[in-house]
Structure 1
């Protein structure tokens, strides 16, 4: 589904201007799944729609639930944002390191939760999250505007997706190889064994065990059809050189 399928869940948002800004930034970065939990303002108010500019459809298609558990129904991966002191057991991570985890799930719903403008998420609400992210800020003024926090997370999600696409298009594809069939290798092994016996590298009583090691070596190398032809050509040239020396 990519980032477009991520549920952006806002718990009890109270500011219509924030809602409009969030809709706009979601559209900026290709997200459109907005979920509101018990909103404290009209998400279709004049201020919200005006702030959304060309992203009004995200507000219009927003889904509203009375409780957070209902908003998360069906989600298999959930990350919550936190902007206050936390003494729980879930380690705090940065958006850049944690958010890609949501994109690893490609079939079932995932969610990113943001809390109230004034007090964030309660400890009970945080318990619904598998991971917690904290956006580092200036300690002298750590409080982030809700729309700003959403913007940062949307940006990180889009950057990760772009980096993955870049890898797909810039990583050279390994050349297709056609491994030599067993019946093509057998004549080569026979010619090799005859030559090595002739030059005294092999002895008749140990030839079988030594040739077995050669077979293992070539099996590990995954010899290709064209390479077998090259190897047989080398053997024939050696035999010619021996006969004409």
Structure 2
């Protein structure tokens, strides 16, 4: 396989609190061929000496880490994202084991991300909404809580094992139609493009009275799940936004439907 697909995967840590954890994560990332570390509003100094000591020979991963002010900024340009969680949500989600879900990130020429929450709280529902798939590391129910670095280590190992299998058998590359030439395979819309559409959709649905402020979170979560299944292409998102613009034009021409 000519391309190291692992180089396209970002490990995204949301508000990590411990420099030791970040250093340990840098080390295990390099152990497993991952190099792109992104931290969202870190609550620790990733340049701290303790982080560098824990990183050992992976200090370069720390030095090249990107700090983002928000999760959408951290995911800019990504077309696939998996979040790790054990949380229940207002809308039920399919929690998958790492070996089943993580190979989905291994697609040529596709930027993707694996998202981890803060040590003390995990990922909130608002943060989880940016992912299309959800991973849960099963552990002893008597003591299920994993250290952040441990969770990253498990998932990084599974990613590396999946990549090794693909390297031995390139036909296993995770694409929608494996028999097509790589350049002809359609790619789903970037996450930031989808987020723009979701915001546009929410605004219009509020205007026409389909949504009300108190129903927005649950209803929009259902729309996200629906569109995640559709694997929207960029031109399809553009078409859907065109429909929303036409709806707004029709409202201005004929009055607000909520008054009918």
Query: Normalising by structure 1, what TM-score?
Result: 0.66
In the alignment, is residue 65 of structure 1 matched against residue 105 of structure 2? no
- Is 1:46 the equivalent of 2:45? no
The answer (yes or no) to whether the contact 1:6–1:109 under 8 Å persists in 2 is yes
Name the residue aligned to 1:133.
Answer: 135
Structure 2 unmatched runs, 5+: 172-260
Q: Could you say which residue in structure 1 is the equivalent of 2:80?
A: 77
Query: Does 2:98 align with 1:95?
Result: yes
Q: Which residue of 2 aligns with 1:147?
A: 149
* C-alpha displacement of 1:83: 2.8
Contact 2:38 2:66 in 1 (8 A): yes
Matches of 1:66 and 1:168 in 2, distance apart? 37
2:33 is matched with which residue: 6, 30, 34?
30
Between Structure 1 and Structure 2, whose CA radius of gyration is higher? 1
In the TM superposition, what is the alpha-carbon distance from 1:86 to its structure 2 partner? 4.0
Alpha-carbon shift at residue 74 of structure 1 (Å): 1.0
Aligned residues: 168
The 8 Å contact of residues 5 and 109 in structure 2, kept in 1 or not, is answered as no
Comparing 159-168 and 146-155, the one that deviates more: 159-168
Quick check: 1:74–1:108 contact (8 Å CA) kept in 2?
no
Residue 159 of structure 2 corresponds to which residue in structure 1?
157
What are the superposed Cα offsets for residues 34-92 of structure 1, whole Å, 9 maximum, x if unpaired?
Answer: 00000000001011001000000100100001100111111100000003344533311
- Secondary structure in structure 2 of the residue aligned to 1:112: strand
* CA distance in 1: counterparts of 2:143 and 2:114, whole angstroms: 24
2:57 alignment partner, SS class: coil
1:159-198, aligned counterparts within 5 Å? 159-167=161-169
Q: Distance in 2 between matches of 1:168 and 1:126?
A: 31
Q: Name the CA distance, whole Å, in 2 between partners of 1:88 and 1:15.
A: 31
Question: Retained in 2: the 8 A contact 1:13–1:39?
Answer: yes
Q: Which runs of 5+ in 1 are unaligned?
A: 170-245
C-alpha separation in 2, matches of 1:90 and 1:150: 21
Aligned CA RMSD, in angstroms, stands at: 1.4
Contact 2:29/2:35 (<8 A) preserved: yes
Q: Does residue 1:20 correspond to 2:20, yes or no?
A: no
Conserved 8 A contact 1:79-1:133: yes
- The change in CA–CA distance for 1:103 and 1:168 in structure 2 (over 3 A counts) is closer
C-alpha change, 1:139 and 1:86, in structure 2 (3 Å) is: farther
Alignment of 1:2-17 (within 5 A): 2-17=5-20
Distance 1:153 1:62, change over 3 A: same
Greater mean alpha carbon deviation, residues 79-88 or residues 18-27 = 79-88
How many Å separate the matches in 1 of 2:146 and 2:103? Answer: 22
